[in-house]
Structure 1
Amino acid sequence: MSHHPGSHPGGPSAGGVPGTPRVLRAMNDRAALDLLLAHGPLSRTRIGALTGLSKPTASQLLARLEAAGLVVAGGTSTGRPGPGARLYALDPRAGYAAGLDVTPQRIRAAVADITGTVVGAHEVRTSPRRAGDVPAQVAGALDGAVKEAGLVRADVHRAVIGTPGAFDPSTGRLRYASHLPGWHSPALLDELAAALPMPLGYDNDVNLVAVAERHAGAARGQEDFVLLWNGEGLGAALVLGGRPHRGFTGGAGEVGFLPVPGAALARGVSRSGGGGFQTLAGAQELSRLARESGVTDAPRGRHSTVAAALLARAAEDDTGPYGRLLDAYATRLATGLAAVTAVVDPGLVVLAGPAIAPGGEPLRRRVASELHELAASRPRLVLGEVTEHPVARGALESALAATRDEVFDTSGRTRPTD
């Protein structure tokens, strides 16, 4: 069981001595598998060209991977005169991983095959006010996704669970998420491990959104960036050197607790579960800002739902009352971001979450303008691109990365001709 997903023992030389034929074969195997993951089906000739391997060596490699159940020979290439070349692809059945997104209202689980294709998903509704049987709820969500995928639980190599707050590595207890009932037992991690006997990882939900954005969104290829999320709560992910920075207790990025100008200095924040930036710019403030800006037809409902509706209207017409709403809200978001950028100095800030994303370009433009006035550095601001279940998507990517390291490591396998 790992509190930080993606950590795994061994590496390319596991199971052999560096430089031995077994290890070199394993390195070539991994290179070919990564190419198939990135490019999709490829011919033997194309794999040879991309890896620098000779045709006989590429043929042996593909035969080895096919015998190991890692690749399948499929159709043929077209578009050239003469017979098409046979194409090879990753066998999606080679491994499966799961990602779970936990909120006070529900637990969503998704299962993906080794290529990253989601093959099953399921949600279990939970009470935001009453603690339930958390291990049973988590297992129920995962089992529902597994069933939809036509699999059994044993097919899943690994699962990563995303929650608000963070599990403190020194105590194993969830911190910074007092609004998540049932998740604060000191025995919870042991109970989850007993309910789900597989490698489990845990991470902060906003960190996992950053993982998703770095893999397939607005932060592709970025080694250092900040992601600001606003939904049920305000949070940030600080990605440094390609990895989310979690801090000593796991609480790096809990910017809702940040003291900021414009909000009363909050004390006892560890007990209250909120702080200055959350008070200043949390989703709960959008209704009040709308009234102060002259909006007379604000909807009612959950704070994040109301915020999303108001921002969507403002994005369609950012003049008059709705323009004033965006101006006021952008100033508040930029106030907290200015403090974050002064410490981290990122080149890129990604804006995401249901209480930010619906504001679209009109909100992004205003936040950027304000931040450039308030911060000495001038980071580029972009809107997040992973909008469909981003926490679950990030949890899947985290689980898949570790699963691929395990499944794609052929150094300990017996050769078909051995």
Structure 2
Amino acid sequence: MSQIDPGTTSWLRTRNDREAFRLFLEHGALTRTMLGELSGMSKPTATQMIARLERADLIEPAGEVAGSRGPSAVSWGVRADRVTGVAVNMLEDRIQAALVGALDTVHPIADLPVRGEVRSPELDIDRAIDAACAAAGADRGTVDAVTVGVQAAVSGDGDALSLTDTLPGWPAVGARGRIESGLGVRVILENDVNLATMAERAFGAAQDAASFALLWVGVGLGVGIDLDGRIHRGAHGGAGEIGYLTVASPRDRVGAVTTELLGADGVLRLVGAPAAARYPEALAPLPHREEALHEIALRLAMTIEPVLAVLDPQLVVLGGPTCLAGGERLAGLVADALRSGDRPDPDVRLSVTGDIAVLAGARRLLVEQIRARLEDRIPTW
């Protein structure tokens, strides 16, 4: 947007139009009268704002609202087909992807198996965009941005990946640039557990916490760290990569790496799953295996203990397939294992964002980006 002098007519019009557009995003379809009441503007001014936003192709007639007296009034709503994005979750053997729009409508999740496929950043994300648009019945030409959750540490500049072995064909440096130049979309690469942590803060178990740690236990494990509403990434993006931590197990695994204790293979052994069993489907019996629940709880407590000692978060949230399978019983056992007379007992909760936490966090970032992009389309009248 070009610079406008504050207080001038053009500045006021643009400011009013942006505020009106935000009201449409927040409240949905509005009539002229409703927009005037919400914005505090007169009906003539509300009419002018609607006309300008419609000319900018940002809103369109959405229907009619019956009034208590007189004829029905036309309502306008945000055009959901102007700019969209795609949220992507890169898993070990498949890719999940979903379309995202300015109205934050929930669209179907496309699930793409990639085992045995030729892989590269461009190919993977190209497939993800195609699949997400097909699942939602959307025009791929509207896709402007992609947020990708990866099982890796992501550098501060967002284009260097480390501590990962689940992205074959992806370079350690330059993946984001390759996707942007090859596909013509803006890209954010983000650690998958950090995205899940954002979702937990926004609408999950940690909405009321000043600070919290999300212990994510899946094929591997990691910790998302939220301090006063901000994700702590560390100097090189590696904060929370607790799967590489060596711990002293109270049993026969002295000096074991936490991934050996809580990764998919180790957990399936505890559950007594057959050799050919697939994770996480084979976790179904876990709630009924009391001995396994106690052992997993002990290992979870041992893993999160260093985080409590160093960061002292108000809350610990347990997420990922293993913790979700263990349920509230597992969360209670972890809380018991962490009790100590030397410090206040930590609050331990089970994640409520479910198995779409990573996509939900990516969607939240994309909604903010898409809305900002649409606002930038408001002319400086």
Residue of structure 1 aligned with 2:81, choices 69, 93, 105: 93
Give how far 1:62 is off: 2.2
Given the superposition, is the C-alpha separation of residues 240 and 87 from structure 1 closer, same or farther in structure 2, using an over 3 Å criterion? farther
- Map of 1:338-349 to 2, 5 A cutoff? 338-349=305-316
2:364 corresponds to: 397
1:304 aligns with 2:280: yes
Q: Deviations over 1:15-41 (max 9, x none)?
A: 324444434433333333333333323
Residue of structure 1 aligned with 2:205, choices 190, 213, 218: 218
Residue of structure 2 aligned with 1:50, choices 29, 38, 45: 38
Give how far 1:230 is off: 0.9
Residue 102 of structure 2 aligns with an amino acid whose one-letter code is I
How much is the aligned-residue C-alpha RMSD, in angstroms?
Answer: 3.0
Distance of 1:374 and 1:261 partners within structure 2: 21
1:285 aligns with 2:252: no
More moved, 353-362 vs 139-148: 139-148
More moved, 345-354 vs 178-187: 178-187
Distance of 2:148 and 2:203 partners within structure 1: 19
- Map of 1:261-272 to 2, 5 A cutoff? 261-262=248-249, 263-265=253-255
Distance of 2:264 and 2:98 partners within structure 1: 27
Residue of structure 1 aligned with 2:123, choices 123, 136, 151: 136
Give how far 1:380 is off: 3.0
1:61 corresponds to: 49
Given the superposition, is the C-alpha separation of residues 200 and 160 from structure 1 closer, same or farther in structure 2, using an over 3 Å criterion? same
Unpaired runs of 5+ residues, structure 2, are: none
- Map of 1:109-148 to 2, 5 A cutoff? 109-119=97-107, 121-127=109-115, 132-148=119-135
Q: Deviations over 1:57-81 (max 9, x none)?
A: 3232222222222223323445846
Distance of 1:161 and 1:379 partners within structure 2: 32
Residue 261 of structure 2 aligns with an amino acid whose one-letter code is L
1:351 aligns with 2:341: no
Distance of 1:24 and 1:385 partners within structure 2: 43
Q: Confirm or deny: 8 A CA contact 1:104 1:181 kept in the other structure.
A: no
How many residues are matched? 378
Q: SS in structure 2 opposite 1:405?
A: helix
Unpaired runs of 5+ residues, structure 1, are: 1-12, 267-275, 292-296
Give how far 1:177 is off: 0.8
Q: SS in structure 1 opposite 2:62?
A: strand
Distance of 1:43 and 1:223 partners within structure 2: 39
Given the superposition, is the C-alpha separation of residues 289 and 120 from structure 1 closer, same or farther in structure 2, using an over 3 Å criterion? closer
Given the superposition, is the C-alpha separation of residues 382 and 181 from structure 1 closer, same or farther in structure 2, using an over 3 Å criterion? same
2:240 corresponds to: 253
- Map of 1:324-339 to 2, 5 A cutoff? 324-339=291-306
Distance of 1:14 and 1:330 partners within structure 2: 57
Give how far 1:96 is off: 0.7
Distance of 2:314 and 2:2 partners within structure 1: 37
Distance of 2:284 and 2:2 partners within structure 1: 53
Distance of 1:396 and 1:365 partners within structure 2: 30
1:184 aligns with 2:171: yes
Given the superposition, is the C-alpha separation of residues 48 and 220 from structure 1 closer, same or farther in structure 2, using an over 3 Å criterion? farther
Given the superposition, is the C-alpha separation of residues 290 and 144 from structure 1 closer, same or farther in structure 2, using an over 3 Å criterion? closer
Give how far 1:222 is off: 5.4
Q: TM-score, normalised by structure 1?
A: 0.79
- Map of 1:21-60 to 2, 5 A cutoff? 21-60=9-48
Distance of 1:85 and 1:171 partners within structure 2: 48
Q: SS in structure 1 opposite 2:298?
A: helix
1:163 corresponds to: 150
Distance of 1:165 and 1:374 partners within structure 2: 36
Give how far 1:102 is off: 0.9
Residue 111 of structure 1 aligns with an amino acid whose one-letter code is L
More moved, 158-167 vs 79-88: 79-88
Given the superposition, is the C-alpha separation of residues 46 and 218 from structure 1 closer, same or farther in structure 2, using an over 3 Å criterion? farther
